[in-house]
Chains A and B, each alone.
Chain A
Amino acid sequence: DAGVIQSPRHEVTEMGQEVTLRCKPISGHNSLFWYRQTMMRGLELLIYFNNNVPIDDSGMPEDRFSAKMPNASFSTLKIQPSEPRDSAVYFCASSLAGSRNQPQHFGDGTRLSIL
């Protein structure tokens, strides 16, 4: 079975450019999570959706960050304009909602470098 699919795997761009990260959750999962991982701050939850609706976006660092989930099989995380401090690995994860016992399934991440 296909797991969580993220694209691109690597992205290098110059500061000020728009960056769009993409995620396809596991079919049938109705919760989707975006995380950011850095050496300094560890793993941070940015935002999560239940049934395509954003539930908690308190982790989104600034207005430059936005996330959408137009349907159950696709989500994007956008940074506009990008800055060097946004460099990190961004993970998408999905799970079945409704129970605190359900594990989250992670994609392999997008390694983002802003020059």
Chain B
Amino acid sequence: GNSVTQMEGPVTLSEEAFLTINCTYTATGYPSLFWYVQYPGEGLQLLLKATKADDKGSNKGFEATYRKETTSFHLEKGSVQVSDSAVYFCALPSGNTPLVFGKGTRLSVIA
């Protein structure tokens, strides 16, 4: 089935630094791709999505572009804030499973 591989964390950055969290996928066809974020003590919430190749999803200053040539969906933000500290999950549908999640990447942003 389809799967995603995320870079392992934790990632520690200073405030205003540039963020990249890598995500590559293996899939049959071109499924929608998602990034979810989990803040401490909360459930996951959708951050952004892209539904077809070359689409760019964006939200709250985060962006990710669906690249079929490199089978990637890397998450980027130009200037992180302390409030961005969270765990980030890449995900896609697979077969009968509506969403398959990566293992998550923990981001810590320090002032």
Which residues of A approach B to under 8 Å, CB–CB?
A: 4, 31, 33, 42-43, 45, 48, 55-56, 91, 93, 95, 100-101, 103-109
Q: Give a binary string over B29-55; 1 marks a CB under 8 Å from any A CB, 0 the rest.
A: 001101000000111111001010000
Tell me whether chain B's interface is mostly helix, strand or loop, or mixed: strand
- Counting chain A CB atoms within 10 Å of each CB, the highest count among B44, B45, B49, B97 belongs to B44
Contact partners of B43 in chain A: CB under 8 A: 4, 91, 93, 106-109
A-B contact count, CB below 8 Å?
Answer: 47
- Knowing that A101-B51, A107-B43, A108-B41 touch, tell me 12 more A-B residue pairs with CB under 8 angstroms: A42-B104, A45-B99, A55-B96, A56-B96, A91-B43, A95-B98, A100-B31, A104-B46, A106-B43, A106-B44, A106-B45, A109-B42
Category for how many chain B residues contact A: 20 to 34
Chain A residues, Cβ within 8 Å of B104: 42-43
